[in-house]
């Protein structure tokens, strides 16, 4: 059995089968439809000759007793052809899937647990998105030239042979059924109060689902302002420092999802810590190792969007499922300050996560206790590790080469002093180096070298942004030699300054050394 080469070839086969189904329905309707006397309104109506041409049927049958018999023969021929075609498509599809060929419609069905009937509904709605001829065919079958999208009744007639089957199949279009619940199909109803009966409501295939079926990988256009997709192996802005934390998370994921009892429960990691602590780098490094794409959602931007937060959250969750991506929500703290409204938004976020994502990361700056909010999902709290003074010194040295490059200071910077005085995260160190580089660029040509003064100014800009609103910074104009005090008082001041200057030596190096010596004893 010949296999499909890709999803597009398979979809074209499904569309060819749809042509046969539509042809069959046209013949059925011609059996009961009287001769149309309105040929003078050609252009406002669709004639049977035009429909026959769209279907490639050049032999338009006359409407007499003999033609009725011929039409019956034609109907049986099409029915037999449909049975053969359906069997051929099924065998080719199974052979393709068994050999690892990706078919987008089959993948969509696996993601959202779609039945064969629901997949055929998608094909019917996809057709009008790809060729205009289907709009005319649907308009003819619905006896309304303005209705070029299929309604529920038309789909039921095309796919169900008996009235009893149509009554049962109506449930496919209920709000809780997969096609409507996940926004794969959209029910159109422009009447006030939703007064149009269900069978008369038009159906449209969601634009993002059209792109998915055609294997276009970009995210939903409505998510573009609030979300981004990161593919494994993409260039990252830095290297995550907490190797032990990353290894522990990875080992947990392998052990947890490898257990049969974890099939129904997803995992939510809440990672919190200061700005620049490497929370995003942790998630990105894990995705690289797991070879999975990552989709970011910015909670702050979602709250400011004109699209309701709950709708955006469902779109984001669905996008994560379509991409097969790990979902990561940044700036999660912004959901925690709005009282009852924020609680509802948190609940909608958790509901979307539980529906669409088995592995989710929430990133914030402060601890959070999800008591009473998260059920049937494993919740794990992770505090992003803060680098000690030695790690900070190493970061200063490593990142200075990356951010300063040719502008590396001619003098020998005291990275240890900077690491001791400013308890920065990796992200803050990067920002300080970038600011120092920009300050050097502002100097006259030939003097564009980063100085220690540039580094200190950049560090202070990172560390005292809120303090500047409470106090005024004074630049010292005097030295120790200018201070007139008794010698013992002067020594006390110098000891206070030394305590601040060398606190990292005492608390980090000496204390660690003492612990090591005690362990040896």
For each of the chain's 521 residues, which pLDDT tens digit applies?
A: 689 999 999 999 999 999 999 999 988 887 665 455 554 454 456 666 666 666 766 455 455 555 677 878 888 888 899 999 999 999 999 999 999 999 999 999 999 999 999 999 999 999 999 999 999 999 999 888 888 999 999 999 999 988 899 999 999 999 999 999 999 999 986 555 567 888 989 999 999 999 999 999 899 999 999 999 999 876 655 555 667 788 888 888 888 887 655 556 789 999 998 888 888 888 988 898 889 999 999 999 999 999 999 999 999 999 999 999 999 999 998 888 766 778 889 999 999 999 999 999 999 998 888 877 888 889 999 988 778 888 888 888 888 877 776 555 556 778 888 888 888 888 888 888 888 888 888 878 777 778 888 888 888 887 766 666 666 666 777 777 778 888 888 888 888 887 777 766 666 665 555 555 555 55
Distance CA 103, CA 363 (A): 35
Instruction: Determine whether 128 is exposed, middle or buried from the number of CB atoms within 10 Å of its CB (0-12, 13-18, 19+).
Output: buried
Spatial neighbors of 235 by CB under 8 A, at least 6 apart, are none
Write down the pLDDT at residue 306.
Answer: 94
Counting Cα atoms < 13 Å in the Cβ hemisphere of 311 gives 8
- Please name the helix (run of DSSP H) or strand (run of DSSP E) that holds residue 295, with its range, or none: strand 294-298
Closest Cα partner for 296 from 376, 367, 226?
A: 226
The Cβ of residue 287 has, within 10 Å, a number of other Cβ atoms equal to: 23
Predicted structure pTM score: 0.80
Q: What is the CATH number of domain 389-473?
A: 1.10.8
Q: Where are the beta strands (DSSP E) in 305-404?
A: 326-330, 359-364, 377-383
Q: For the CA atoms of the chain, what is the radius of gyration?
A: 34
Both structure tokens of 217: 């990988």
Q: What is the CATH number of domain 229-383?
A: 3.40.50.300
Do residues 305 and 299 make contact, with C-beta atoms less than 8 angstroms apart? no
In the chain, domain spans? 7-213, 229-383, 389-473, 486-521
- The phi, psi pair for 365, rounded to 5°, reads -105, -15
């Amino acid at each position: 059995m010949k296999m499909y080469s890709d999803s597009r070839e398979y979809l074209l086969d499904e569309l060819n089968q749809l042509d046969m189904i539509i042809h069959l329905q046209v013949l059925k309707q011609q059996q009961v439809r009287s001769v149309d006397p309105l040929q003078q309104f050609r252009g406002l109506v669709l004639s049977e000759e035009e429909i026959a041409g769209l279907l490639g049927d050049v032999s338009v049958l006359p409407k007499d007793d003999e033609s009725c018999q011929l039409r019956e023969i034609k109907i049986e021929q099409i029915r037999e052809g449909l049975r053969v075609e359906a069997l051929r498509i099924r065998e080719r599809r199974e052979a393709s899937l068994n050999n690892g060929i990706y078919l987008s419609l089959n993948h969509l069905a696996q993601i959202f647990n779609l039945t064969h009937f629901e997949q055929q509904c998608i094909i019917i709605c996809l057709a009008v998105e790809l060729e205009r001829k289907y709009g005319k065919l649907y308009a003819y079958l619905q006896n309304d030239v303005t209705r070029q999208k299929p309604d529920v009744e038309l789909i039921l007639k095309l796919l169900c042979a008996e009235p009893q089957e149509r009554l049962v199949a109506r449930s496919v279009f209920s709000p809780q059924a997969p096609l409507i619940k996940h926004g794969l199909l959209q029910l159109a109803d422009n009447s006030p109060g939703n007064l149009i009966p269900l069978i008369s409501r038009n159906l449209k295939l969601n634009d993002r689902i059209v792109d998915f079926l055609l294997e276009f990988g970009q995210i939903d256009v409505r998510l573009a302002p609030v979300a981004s997709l990161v593919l494994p192996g993409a260039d990252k802005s830095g290297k995550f420092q907490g190797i032990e934390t990353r290894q522990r998370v990875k080992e947990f994921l392998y052990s947890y999802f490898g257990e049969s009892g974890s099939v129904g429960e997803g995992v939510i990691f809440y990672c919190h810590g200061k700005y620049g602590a490497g929370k995003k780098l942790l998630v990105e490094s894990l995705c690289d190792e797991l070879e999975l794409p990552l989709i970011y959602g910015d909670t702050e931007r979602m709250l400011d969007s004109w699209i309701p937060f709950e709708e955006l959250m469902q779109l984001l969750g669905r996008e994560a499922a379509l991409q097969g991506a790990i979902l990561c929500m940044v700036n999660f703290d912004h959901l925690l300050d709005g009282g009852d409204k924020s609680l509802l938004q948190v609940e909608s976020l958790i509901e979307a996560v539980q529906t669409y994502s088995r592995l989710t990361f929430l990133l914030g700056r402060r601890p959070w206790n999800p008591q009473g909010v998260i059920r049937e999902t494993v919740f794990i709290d992770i505090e992003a590790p803060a680098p000690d003074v030695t790690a900070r010194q190493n970061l200063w040295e490593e990142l200075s080469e990356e951010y300063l490059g040719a502008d590396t200071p001619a003098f020998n910077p005291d990275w240890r002093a900077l690491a001791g005085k400013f308890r920065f995260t990796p992200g803050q160190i990067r920002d300080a180096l970038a600011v120092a580089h920009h300050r050097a660029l502002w100097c006259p040509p030939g003097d564009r070298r980063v100085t220690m003064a540039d580094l200190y100014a950049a560090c202070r800009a990172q560390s005292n942004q809120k303090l500047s609103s409470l106090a005024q910074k004074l630049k010292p104009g005097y030295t120790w030699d200018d201070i007139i005090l008794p010698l013992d008082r002067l020594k006390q001041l110098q000891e206070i300054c030394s305590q601040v200057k060398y606190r990292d030596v005492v608390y980090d190096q000496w204390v660690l050394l003492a612990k090591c010596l005690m362990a040896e004893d």
